[in-house]
Structure 1
């Protein structure tokens, strides 16, 4: 199992709208091949920073499969106007409780 950890910097004026925008595009993520679940959290000290952790069956399911898909393009399109910069993504391996 692979965990994708994406740090999403959100425009200060877009923080209130980000969760609703994420909820609108989340079905695109949920139907991805190899998707096993996710959690989205908002920073406490930095409220304009959100962290998305997605569980994937394999790294291949996330990249290249999902990242190259039309669903990924639409997922990012639904969020891009609220982001203040590029998300940073890393992957970790392990079985963690969520």
Structure 2
């Protein structure tokens, strides 16, 4: 299992519009081959940066898979006007999160 971590810097004053735009393009991500769930969270210390964490079955499902698709092009097209700079994306390997709280 692979996690994609994308740091998405959003223009000041555009965070609510970004959330709405993300909700519109979210189905494109959810239908991608190998998609296993995601979390979109606004930074606490850096509220102008959203963190998108996507679980993929394999690295190939994300890249070249989703990234080379028309759905990815449309996904990015729906969000790019909100980015204050180029998003940073990296990947980590790992299993599911542990459940430490009872």
TM normalised by structure 1 equals 0.96
Deviation above 4 Å: which 4+ runs of structure 1?
Answer: none
Unaligned regions of 5+ residues in structure 2, if any?
none
C-alpha distance in 2 between matches for 1:6 and 1:63: 13
Give the paired residue count.
Answer: 98
Deviations 1:54-91 (A, max 9, x none): 00000000000100000000000000001101110010
C-alpha distance in 1 between matches for 2:42 and 2:87: 14
Q: CA deviation at 1:45?
A: 1.4
- 1:53 is matched with which residue? 53
Q: CA RMSD in A?
A: 1.1
Q: Does 1:74 align with 2:74?
A: yes
- 1:25 is matched with which residue? 25
Unaligned regions of 5+ residues in structure 1, if any?
none
Whose radius of gyration is greater, 1 or 2?
2
